[in-house]
Amino acid sequence: MTSSPYKKRIVVTVAIAASVSAIAFSIAASRMPAWESKFVKQQKDGSLQYKADKQGNFIPDFSAVGYYHGDKPIPEIPAVATVSPSANAMEQIQAAIDKLSAQKPDVNGFRGAILLKRGEYRIPGSILIKASGIVLRGEGNTENGTRLIATAANQKPLIDVQGNGKITEVQGTRVNIADKYVPTGATSFNVTDASAFKAGDHVILFSAANDHWISDLKMDQIVARNGTKQWRSEEYNLSFERTILSVNGNTVELDNPVMMPIDADYGGGALFKYTFNGRIQHIGIENLYCESPASSDTAEDHSWDAIHMDKIENGWVSKVTARYFSYACVNLSPAAKNITVTNSRCFDHKSKVTGGRRYSFNNDGQQNLFLNCVTADGRHDYVTGAKTLGPNVFYNCSSTITHADIGPHHRWAVGTLYDNITTDGEINVQDRGNYGSGHGWAGVTQVLWNCKVRGAAVQNPWASGKNYCIGLNGEKRAGRFKDRMDGEWEGLNKDGLQPPSLYKAQLEARQKKK
């Protein structure tokens, strides 16, 4: 597809506007009196002090997300194979991937990078990566760089990264959490018997749900319309992936915090070891320009995602531009964990402007980080799906020409930080009621920090935690239901919030402890 001058101007204008806005915001903020949130205060040594409520809940540490929890830089992997544009480009790329997949990884778990030389590659299917340790790298994420064009008349991803297997409980290791109530933010708690656990064990922090919880959330009382599904407790048993840092008697310390209260009255919780045989890792997608040509602005018989990832951990997407796709630049499925998506762009979707389309950067996985991304013409640009389990972070991202809102989209996403998000649309955290098939409460422990929006509705659910809106610049809105409880609002339209970024402050504070 030949891009129009108008569409090119959108890309350039968005980039310039984002830069100018960032500079203007920085100058304006430097002139405003600094203020701190009552919920999080930064000490002179860089450490953070958190204010807990009466039950001990506080804003959790979101910093241990992305590639190796942010504790390792994304590596530069040497190219071991090169592919140039040709009439059978897809076959050559896939052959290079398959050949590299058969080789033994090095001591760091990498097989090498495949360099796609500058030029146009027409791809009549999906490029598949199914083995660990492979980096796919281009020579530029503009139309003059490495340009991958999805030509298949179907909705499959252009690049599909797929491991296999699933989370499997190690039988005989499950123990119950002994504490009646474990607050949001806690990293340690007591179990009935910790003798089988040790530092380094991969465990599931299991949060159970019962009918009492559903009733108190009023999610068995959603005003029904055609297709509405009331929530059922057995569908809300949540499995948070964690690693044990230490064991002291029956007290277990985890690498990432509790993201919602574990309350015995609502079903309590448990801890058990798990395996995930078949999950791949060390995959990188870098410096590419991806297109999905369409016959019209609302056509949908073309590629859905530029990049889709599932059953993978410790990977990254860097400097990828996606254009004309119906769904996403990057779409992370529930079993995608510790992925960093950085400096990427999603523009000019081609699809109907309706549900299930234009989710520019979609995250359904755990412990993932999106930073320095830009979108235009999307719907839910930085978004999580049903029961997306944190921590997860969207940091320093922007969107323009929006057609819907940013935020948790439906059904109880747990633990997401929206940090320095700028949009000409809305960020909403609310009871969505019978939207979709009965979305209900979209999320809990959702934190908006220093965001700039046209409008926002941030509400607290009837039970099991809070949502926070701190330092928002924009209009406070009532949301879909005016009788829902306000979230924890602080510093509306008040510049000068310190620290300017919660994610960066938490990362620096955590790394100083090591």
pLDDT tens-digit series, residues 205-225? 999 999 999 999 999 999 999
End-to-end CA distance of the chain: 51
Q: Is 391 a member of any domain?
A: no
Q: Is 387 a member of any domain?
A: no
Which DSSP symbol is given to 108?
Answer: T
Query: What is d(CA 90, CA 303) in angstroms, rounded to the nearest whole number?
Result: 15
83 & 140 share domain: yes
Out of 242, 275, 308, pick the residue that ends a domain.
275
- The alpha-carbon radius of gyration of the chain (Å, integer) is 23
Out of 275, 300, 321, pick the residue that ends a domain.
275
157 & 269 share domain: no
Residue bearing the bigger pLDDT, 238 or 355: 238
- Residue 56 CB partners (closer than 8 Å, separation 6+): 181, 183, 185, 186
Backbone angles phi, psi at 445, to 5 degrees: 55, 50
At residue 18, does pLDDT exceed 90? no
Strand duo 146-150 + 48-50: pairing:
unpaired
Q: What share of the chain is helix, strand, coil (3-state, %, to 5)?
A: 15, 40, 50
78 & 203 share domain: no
265 & 284 share domain: no
At residue 9, does pLDDT exceed 60? no
At residue 497, does pLDDT exceed 90? yes
Which DSSP symbol is given to 238?
Answer: E
**Average pLDDT in the 106-127 region?**
98
Query: What is d(CA 400, CA 407) in angstroms, rounded to the nearest whole number?
Result: 15
109 & 89 share domain: yes
406 & 447 share domain: yes
Query: What is d(CA 503, CA 492) in angstroms, rounded to the nearest whole number?
Result: 20
**Average pLDDT in the 356-360 region?**
95
Query: What is d(CA 490, CA 124) in angstroms, rounded to the nearest whole number?
Result: 51
Give the distance, in angstroms, between the CA of residue 216 and the centroid of all CA atoms in the same chain: 28
Out of 248, 275, 302, pick the residue that ends a domain.
275
pLDDT score for 31: 59
* Burial environment of residue 102 by CB neighbours within 10 A (0 to 12, 13 to 18, 19 or more): exposed
CATH of the domain at 116: 2.160.20.10
161 & 283 share domain: yes
Q: In the structure encoding, which two tokens stand for residue 27, read together?
A: 């100058």
What does the pLDDT look like over 398-409, one tens digit per residue? 999 999 999 999
Percent of the chain whose predicted confidence (pLDDT) is above 90: 91
Kindly compute the dihedral angle of the four CA atoms of residues 176, 203, 309, 420, in this order, to the nearest 10 degrees.
Answer: 80
Q: Is 160 a member of any domain?
A: yes
What does the pLDDT look like over 46-61, one tens digit per residue? 999 999 999 999 999 9
- CA-to-CA separations, 217 to 410, 411, 477, in angstroms, rounded: 14, 12, 22
pLDDT score for 29: 44
Task: Looking at 289-353, list the stretches that DSSP marks H as alpha helix, in order from N- to C-terminal side.
Answer: none
Three-state SS at 91: helix
Q: In the structure encoding, which two tokens stand for residue 131, read together?
A: 């083995």
- Domain residues for 202? 168-275
At residue 13, does pLDDT exceed 80? no
Q: Is 482 a member of any domain?
A: yes
Query: Are the C-beta atoms of residues 3 and 466 closer than 8 Å to each other?
Result: no
**Average pLDDT in the 383-390 region?**
97
**Average pLDDT in the 102-107 region?**
97
Query: What is d(CA 260, CA 186) in angstroms, rounded to the nearest whole number?
Result: 9
Dihedral of alpha carbons 456, 462, 467, 468, sign: positive
What does the pLDDT look like over 432-462, one tens digit per residue? 989 888 899 999 999 999 999 999 999 999 9
Structurally, the chain folds into a number of domains equal to 4
Which amino acid, one-letter code, is at 343?
A: N
Q: What is the pTM of this model?
A: 0.93
Query: What is d(CA 434, CA 69) in angstroms, rounded to the nearest whole number?
Result: 36
Kindly compute the dihedral angle of the four CA atoms of residues 225, 351, 116, 91, in this order, to the nearest 10 degrees.
Answer: 80
pLDDT score for 437: 87
Residue that is written with structure tokens 């064990």 in the block: 201
> Rounded mean pLDDT of the chain?
94
pLDDT score for 15: 46
pLDDT score for 4: 40
pLDDT score for 199: 98
Give the CA angle between residues 324, 289, 299 to the nearest 5°.
Answer: 15
430 & 283 share domain: no
110 & 130 share domain: yes
Residue bearing the bigger pLDDT, 103 or 33: 103
What does the pLDDT look like over 164-203, one tens digit per residue? 999 999 999 999 999 999 999 999 999 999 999 999 999 9
β-sheet bridge partners, residue 447: 417, 468
